[in-house]
Each structure stands twice: as C-alpha cells, then as structure tokens.
Amino acid sequence: MTEPRQLWVLAGTRAWARDAALHYACDGMLWLGEPPAGVPGGAAREAHKWLGRELDLLVIDAWAGFDVEAFGAASGALRGGGLMLLLTPSLAEWPRYADPEYARIAVHPFTLQQVSGRFLVRFVHLLQSHSVDVLTGGEALPPWQAAPTAHPADWHTSDQQAALEAITEMAQAVVPVPLVLTSDRGRGKSAVLGMAAAQLLRDGLRHIVVTAPRLAAADALFEHAARLLPQAEVSRGSLEFPQGLARLQFFAPDELAHRLPAADLLLVDEAAALPAPLLERLLGHYPRSVFATTLHGYEGTGRGFAVRFQRVLDERAPGWRSVRLTEPIRWPVNDPLEHFVFDALLLDAQAAEDARVRDATVDGCSIELVARDALLDDETTLRQLFGLLVLAHYRTSPLDLRHLLDGPNVSVWLMRRQGQVVATALTVREGGFDAVLAREIYQGKRRPRGHLIPQSLALHSGFVEAPQLSGERIMRIAVHPAAQQRGLGTRLVQAIIEQARNEALDFVGSSFGATADLLAFWRRAELLPVRLGLTREASSGSHSVIVLRPLSPAGEALSGAVRARFLAHLPALLSDGMETVDAGVATVLLHGAVADETTELDAQDWRDVESFVQGWRGYEVCQVALRKRALSLPATTRLTARQHELLLCKIVQRQPWVQIVAAFGYSGRAQALAALREAVANI
C-alpha cells in the first residue's frame, strides 16, 4: 500500500532551516528557491521544468519568495511516502515578512512592504487547523527516510485501464465522437494518453497529433509512449514507429490551429489552459479527438473548461463521451498533503449551488464592495467567490487568489442573493501619474508595473496625457452560470461606475479577449472600444480590446479623442497588420468607423509621425498618420529614389512586410522597419 505524503514546516531562522533541510538530503530530492551548492533545484518560477519527475523530498524555501503556483505544481511530483519541507520565518512573523514574491503584486507606486499578508494569514491558519508538523529548532529533528517505490513504472490503475479502452475504441470507431478525459493531479492522465498512442500506433494508426500549452506539458505523454515502443525513434516532441511509417508528433497550439495537418487522432493535454476558440477550431477539424485536462490545476482549471466546453460539444458533437480518473497513482486516497494543497490554494473551491441562485434577479440581489479582511473570517464566501472566478475565467490560478487577498490596488465586489454569491468583480485602480512620468511612458522609457489602460493608451494609442488620468479597471467579472442573461452583470458594472464617479475618477474601463458577445455586454454598460491589440493573445486566442467609459470632463476629452482616432484608423489596421481579427468582432468594431483618406495632418498625427521616427511606437499604430504624410509629400524632398519607392510600396500600397523584405533585399523585417523610419525622418 502506498504511504501518505508529509508536510513539515521548518519555521525559524533561515540558516537553521536550510541546515535542517540538508539533514534529510537524499537522491530523489528537489530544492526550489536558491538551493545550496550541489543540490538539484533552482528558482521556484522554474518549477515547471521539474514536472513529470517523481520526488522523495521537496524543499521549498519561502524566504526566497513563496511562489504559490510552484508550491502547488511541485507538490504533485512528490510520490507516496515523500516529504515536503517548507522553510519559513516563524509563523507569527511570516505574514509580516516582505516576501520577494510581492514584486509580482506590488504595482506602482506600492512597495513590497505595502502588500498585505492576508494570504499568509490564511495559510498559517490552515497549517494549524490541518495539524501540520511545525519544527522551530528547539528540539531534535525527527527521523525520516524515503519509502521504497510502490509500483513498477508501467503499472496502471483500473481507472486508467478503462480510459485506455475508451480512447482506443473511439479512435477505431466507424463513427467517432470526441472524448473528454478529466482527473485531479496524480491520476496518470498523461500516462493514459501516452499508452493509448503507443497501442494505436502498433494497431496501425499512421499519424497521431499531440498539442498542449507547451512542449514540457507533453513530456510525460511521450515518455510513456516510448516506454511501450522501445524500438521507436524518439526525439523531443516526436516519436516514429516503425522506420518512420507511423508518427506521434507534437504541435504548438497556435501552429496546429493554423496548419491543421492531417491526422488519424488528436490528443489535447491540459485542454483547460488553451483558449476556447482554438479548441473549437480543433474540434471542428478532427473528428477523432481526446480533450484531457486536470480538474483542480495550478494553471487553469478543468471545472471552468467543463462548463464552457460542454456547451460547444453538445452543439457540435452530440453524443460526446466523458471519462474521469479518480484513483491516485503516486499517493494514497485521502492523502493529507493533497487535502492541504487543495484547501490552501482553493483548488477545490466551488461556486454556489445552482439551486440557490437560479431565481436571482437584479431587484432581489444586494451589491457590496467587500472588505477583504472580512473574507479571512468568511471561508464560505471566499470559496464561492473564487469558485465563480474559476468557472468564468479558464486561466484563474493560485496567484490570482493571492492578488485578490493582497493586491494593494485591488477591490472586490460581490452580488449576493440570500447570502449566496451570484456575481463578483475584481477592480484595480490605475493611472494618476505626474506629467514627467506620463511622457516617459509615452516615449517607452518607463513601464511601471500595472496600470494597463493608461499605459496602453499612451504607449500604443499615442496619447501622452492618458497616464495622468485616474480610473478603475474591471479586471475580472463573473456571473453564476445558473443566473446569466438577466442583467446581473450589467447592474454590477453600473454599481462600480457609480462608486468611481463618487470618488471623482476620470474613467472606468476593462481589457479582455474580444468576442462579439463580450463587446455587446460592455456596450450595454456604455463602455465602448478604444483600442484593439495588434496580435492574438496566447491566453485567449483573440485580439485584446480596451473599452472605456468616461466619468469626468478630462475623461470625456481623452475618451472622445482616443475613440475617434481608433474608429478613423480601424479600417486601415484591419487591412494591414490585423488581418487575423475575427470577422464577427471586426463587424462590431467597425460600427461607426469611417476610412479617413484626408491628407491634412492634425496635432495628434504629427505626434504619431514623431513617435514612429523616434522608435517609441510601431508602424501599425502610426500608419494612418504616415499615410497622410506620404500622400502630401512636397515637390522637393531629401528622399533618395530607393526611399521614395519604399514609402510608396509600404505606406501607400500597403504591401506586406515579407514582400517589402524580398523586393528591397533586406535581411528581415527589422532592417526594413529601420529603413522606413529613416525615410520618414527625411520628410
């Protein structure tokens, strides 16, 4: 029988804790956070490099920064009988420690010392309530040694066997239906995919395609496939068997969605961490597909994925099948460390039960700006709040929990019905910079942490005054799935706007991956688009959009100017530089837009030209002003014939960069861009 895993806290001076941890050094150990010389490990942020290994001893040095995502991720590599050592200040002092990790939370102008320790207050309380062993240096170190391996590497559970059979049956079916494979961590999900791939290649499948958020996430899949096919030729992300007649091949998600290579079977690992539009595209192209994901993960969540993707599957692939792995492989059922990690990081947080919120209406709900100290005394509300965020946002992670509790510029809004959380929003205060810093942001010389909207409007849209205004950005908003389409989200946004107006702020805004439905939601609350990102975001698969609602005369002036310029430039952007924007999104955004072919440059146009020449901003966001300038060239200029031709081809004819590079013999886009800047400078 597999032995349970243990967590010990070494709470005392850092020197004592490090010496004590070295007392237990063994072959199968990993040290995260400034490991001693000769000890395997590294910075906590590199924890993902070690996933897929089986550890006997895991040391996490919280003195070097308590990375909560690394804590959750690395714990899954610890096998049954293993020991986790957490090195901390004394538990009484730890919540007041200026954790180096706070650098990820302390947005400008806040310091590490101004980040609250609410997350750690709750964490310490859970250590005590879970009766975790805390060693303080006043007693002899207890004995511990690694347990023997409980099972051979190719051993698998009855759950895995059932999943293996389901995958092979689907892959060989005449009329296949997609398969969704879910599990908690440590249940061998990736191993099942690898074993199924090996069996199907032996049975005659020629090409199996694998995708995952990153190649490292698929390593375990390839390792298990290779173990069952010892004669195969294996390289990172590729397995050929036999003699290249059949292949198991990894593709990055964006590359796969673009190329859509022919395949007999598609295996998607950690599907919850991939954007929904991308998954829909893959579902439509590959009839034989397995979408596997972790239910309670440290990056993204399978629960939100299950809720959202089920609707797509019901519509696009009726009869789809679901398989769940429940039996742990590397540790026993009811493992105490797993319970603690789930509690501490709220990996098992659940939104309110559907029946408790199904009848919610705008008039029947209360709205409050909640004091975050109160959340520490109300675990039920905290769990419902975070569970709702998990359902609504597929990349919600433990770091988001820490931001929620500790972020110095974060506010938490709740909408409740009879005490149950029906909707929630997280907002952050942005802007309010002085004129000097605002200009440095505009020129690309400074990039203070946080403040997404004012910095983007300065750096990308070209409005130097934007960082001086103050506003509230709605960072997250979520309405319970059982209570949607009733105006609850719009009413919550209205409450946030009312509060911001009372505080004399200049604007309320938001930024998100643009879809037609989301744009319609924000338009109902009178937040209108003012900027569209040039490229698709890896996190959402969509172009990001900024929406804004002005609240003051200064906000009205900025919002009006930015939106007018956005609408005037949008047709040109969509034809040169943003061709990948979804057609439905483009249709919504183009409402009210007109092509601006006038050659008269206004003051903002001249700022755009200067910004391009100085290298402060890119070509795409300045191209309308550059086109005006190119179309109004004086009879005599200092341009060479080659420069004149370059202006004509790129700015007037809007030839793509790849064509410009080839025609002019440049080494690449960077050299072509530099030449274009020089040419514009001469006019």
Three-state secondary structure along 114-183?
Answer: HCCCHHHHHHHHHHHHCCCEEECCCCCCCCCCCCCCCCCCCCCCHHHHHHHHHHHHHHHCCCCCCEEEEE
Structure confidence at residue 577 (pLDDT): 60
Q: Can you state the angle between helices 516-524 and 488-502, rounded to 10 degrees?
A: 50
Distances (CA, A) of 175 to 249, 284, 287, 581: 24, 15, 9, 34
- The torsion angles phi and psi of 507, rounded to 5 degrees, stand at -160, 160
Beta bridge partners of 479: 423
Task: Specify whether the CB–CB gap between 500 and 472 falls below 8 A.
Answer: yes
- Predicted confidence at residue 592, as pLDDT, reads 65
| Nearest CA among 453, 449, 606, 621 for reference residue 535 | 621
Dmax (CA) of the chain? 89
First to last CA, the chain: 79
- C-alpha 643/C-alpha 573 separation (Å) is 23
Distance CA 510, CA 496 (A): 12
What confidence score (pLDDT) does residue 49 get? 72
The pLDDT tens digits of the residues spanning 394-419 come to 668 899 999 999 999 999 999 999 99
Domain residue extents for the chain:
6-135, 158-325, 603-681
User: Cβ distance 321 to 170 under 8 Å?
Assistant: yes
* Cβ contact 351:421 at 8 Å: yes
Query: Which helix H or strand E contains 517, and what residues bound it?
Result: helix 516-524
pLDDT at residue 641, as a whole number: 79
Order of strands, sheet of 179-183, starting from the edge strand that comes earlier in the sequence: 233-235, 238-241, 246-250, 207-211, 265-268, 289-294, 179-183, 321-325
- Which tokens hold the place of 317? 């692939």
| Distance (Å, whole) CA 644 – CA 274 | 45
Backbone φ, ψ for residue 536 (5° rounding) = -70, 140
Q: What are phi and psi of 467, to 5 degrees?
A: -65, -15
Over residues 62-85, the pLDDT tens digits come to 999 999 999 998 998 899 999 999
Q: Per CATH, which fold does 158-325 belong to? A: Rossmann fold (3.40.50)
**Which residues of the chain, if any, have pLDDT below 50?**
152, 298-302
> pLDDT value at position 300?
45
Q: Give the separation between CA 495 and CA 357, rounded to whole angstroms.
A: 20
Instruction: Dihedral sign for Cα 494, 498, 499, 500, please.
Output: positive
> What is the four-CA torsion angle of 590, 593, 598, 599, rounded to 10 degrees?
-60
- In which order are the strands placed within the sheet that holds 470-479? 366-370, 410-417, 420-431, 470-479, 507-513, 543-550, 528-536
Which one-letter DSSP state was computed for residue 106? -
How are the residues of the chain apportioned to helix, strand and coil, as percentages rounded to the nearest 5?
45, 20, 35
**Interatomic CA distance for residues 271 and 217, integer angstroms:** 11
Specify whether the CB–CB gap between 325 and 187 falls below 8 A.
yes
Crossing angle, helix 276-285 and helix 302-316, to 10 degrees?
A: 40
Strand partners, 429: 472
pLDDT at 296: 64
Among the listed residues 502, 497, 346, 478, the one whose alpha carbon sits nearest the alpha carbon of residue 422 = 478
So what CATH class is 6-135?
alpha beta
HEC string of 564-591 equals: HHHHHHHHHHHHCCCCCCCHHHHHHHCC
